[in-house]
Amino acid sequence: MFTSINAGLQQLGKLDRLGIPLMRVAIAIVFLWIGALKFVPYEADSITPFVANSPVMSFFYEHPQDYKAHLTHEGELNADKRTWQTANNTYGFSTGLGVVEILIGLLVLSNPLSRRTGLLGGALAFATPLVTLSFLVTTPEAWVAALGDGQHGFPYLSGAGRLVLKDVLMLAGALPVMADSARQLLTERQA
């Protein structure tokens, strides 16, 4: 019995060799998929509070201070709010961000073809969550609002806050992907 348990543990112990390639694919899927969604108004609308409240990004919007009156729910079509979002540059910024995210996903996937571009993709995949995680500090909507329940504010993450917090995983996953590309690049240079 212990022999079969040990054999199983040995096989499990070898699975980490798949970890970095699978992490590379997982990171690419997230960036490609979410990047593609940035071309759709509902996704652009959903990032409005994050961008509008960011001291680093709010300048991309024409009227970041007015965003609360023009928010929509996923799937909601409100022509007046959509007109405001267009004038606010919500969709232009989101399209640009989508292009950047798709590019990061492609760079991460490019590692077998070019270690340099793979390394760049890994570095960008690592840097992106640093920006995104800053939204936990700058965006009031990241925390449960005080609407009568005793559980609100820090540490009670709203749906938006929980979405942002998951970027800790992206940050952690991008680090070994970046390191793997750097190791492979060094190996190629020494050959």
8 A C-beta contact, residue 110 and residue 118: yes
143: three-class secondary structure by DSSP: strand
> What pLDDT score was predicted for residue 51?
97
What tokens does 181 get? Answer: 């590309």
What total number of domains does the chain contain? 1
pLDDT of residue 139: 95
Q: Which of 16, 189, 31, 185 is nearest to 108 (CA)?
A: 31
The pLDDT assigned to 3 comes to 83
**Domain range for 105:** 17-140+173-190
For 8, counting Cβ atoms within 10 Å of its Cβ (0-12 exposed, 13-18 middle, 19+ buried), the class is: exposed
The fraction of the chain above a pLDDT of 90, given in percent, is 84
pLDDT digits (tens, 9 = 90+) for 1-56: 778 888 888 888 888 888 999 999 999 999 999 999 999 999 999 999 999 999 99
Q: Which residue has the higher pLDDT, 13 or 161?
A: 161
Mean pLDDT of the chain: 94
The tens digit of pLDDT for each residue in 128-147 reads 999 999 999 999 999 999 99
- The structure tokens listed for 110 are 């490019």
Whether pLDDT at 94 is above 90: yes
- Residue 139 CB contacts under 8 Å (≥ 6 apart), including other chains: 49, 50, 53, 54, 160, 161, 164
| Tokens matching residue 169 | 């995983």
Asked if residue 159 belongs to a domain, the reply is: no
Q: Residue 165 domain-assigned?
A: no
pTM of the predicted model, to two decimals? Answer: 0.90
Q: How far apart are alpha carbons 185 and 152 in whole angstroms?
A: 48
- DSSP, collapsed to helix, strand or coil, labels residue 157 as strand
**pLDDT value for 93:** 97
In a domain, 158, yes or no: no
Kindly report, residue by residue over 145-157, the tens digit of the pLDDT. Answer: 999 989 999 999 9
pLDDT confidence of 107, banded at 50, 70, 90? very high
**Is 32 inside any structural domain?**
yes
62 pLDDT higher than 90: yes
Beta-ladder partners of 44: none
pLDDT at residue 40, rounded to an integer: 96
Residue 65, domain member (yes or no): yes
Is residue 84 in some structural domain? yes
Residue 7: predicted pLDDT: 87
